[in-house]
A and B are shown apart, each in its own frame.
Chain A
């Protein structure tokens, strides 16, 4: 299995509090991604990174920010958590762009509940 770990694996937080999720890889892959997965929806891209300090928005980026100060770490921050951000969050890594015949490897997911 690819060396990718997410922390925490589970979190319950209150509305309005900031939350940071961490993704750590040991594969030295250039690309890293944050997705959320909700019932009835596919995985939806929040933000992605194509290098250290190089990030861009995905389709559902409102309310989220990211940072990548080292190749191996990609942080996702919910500035002020809302109940609509209750979801399962997956980090993914890939050598090339996902979809360019490059496999994406996913972390085990973080279950976030905002109450």
Chain B
């Protein structure tokens, strides 16, 4: 079992739709959680950190469920520019930071 697992997608949604991704992690000692965004053939960039109480940044909401060991990313009112791969990132201590393989999102007009 992979330490961090994501549905690879792709998710194909129309503009204006709400879409949610989940990411599960296997190590209960995981400490920090993040979502990164990677455009096609580009480098990953931090989208947002994920806090225990949940957090929101504009149209993006991140949630953490420690009991079930998953994090989620909700995107409201999807834009064409949201088309990208979203990487789930989990730190389990020290330099042990695991990147998920990513979930691809296509937003269509």
A109 touches B43 (CB 8 A): yes
Please tell me which one of the listed residues A41, A103, A107, A109 contacts residue B46 in the complex, with CB atoms under 8 A apart. Answer: A103
Among the stretches A13-21, A67-75, A94-102, the one at the interface with B is A94-102
A100 touches B91 (CB 8 A): yes
Q: Looking at chain B, what size class is its interface with the partner chain?
A: 20 to 34
A56 at the interface (CB under 8 A from B): yes
Question: How distant is B7 from chain A, measured CB to nearest CB, in Å?
Answer: 13
Among the stretches B9-17, B58-66, B69-77, B97-105, the one at the interface with A is B97-105
**Contacts A90-B44, A100-B32 hold; do A41 and B101 have CB atoms under 8 A apart?**
yes
**Contacts A56-B95, A98-B95, A101-B32 hold; do A90 and B43 have CB atoms under 8 A apart?**
yes
A48 CA to B94 CA, complexed, in Å:
12
Q: Which residue of A lies closest to B100 (CB)?
A: A42
A7 at the interface (CB under 8 A from B): no
A108 CA to B41 CA, complexed, in Å:
9
A106 CA to B100 CA, complexed, in Å:
16
Please tell me which one of the listed residues A41, A48, A58, A101 contacts residue B49 in the complex, with CB atoms under 8 A apart. Answer: A101
A98 touches B43 (CB 8 A): no
**Contacts A90-B43, A99-B89, A106-B45 hold; do A42 and B101 have CB atoms under 8 A apart?**
yes
Q: Which residue of A lies closest to B93 (CB)?
A: A99
**Contacts A48-B95, A99-B31, A100-B91 hold; do A43 and B44 have CB atoms under 8 A apart?**
yes
A52 at the interface (CB under 8 A from B): no
Report chain A residues within 8 Å CB of B90.
99
Report chain B residues within 8 Å CB of A106.
43-45
A 78-115 contacts with B by CB, 8 A: 90, 97-101, 103-104, 106-109
Question: How distant is B91 from chain A, measured CB to nearest CB, in Å?
Answer: 3
The 4 A-B pairs of least Cβ separation, nearest first, read A99-B91, A42-B99, A106-B43, A43-B99
A–B complex contacts, Cβ < 8 Å, 28 sampled: A40-B8, A40-B101, A42-B87, A42-B99, A42-B100, A42-B102, A43-B44, A45-B95, A48-B95, A56-B95, A90-B44, A97-B94, A98-B95, A99-B31, A99-B34, A99-B89, A99-B90, A99-B91, A99-B96, A100-B32, A101-B32, A104-B46, A106-B43, A106-B45, A107-B43, A108-B42, A108-B43, A109-B43
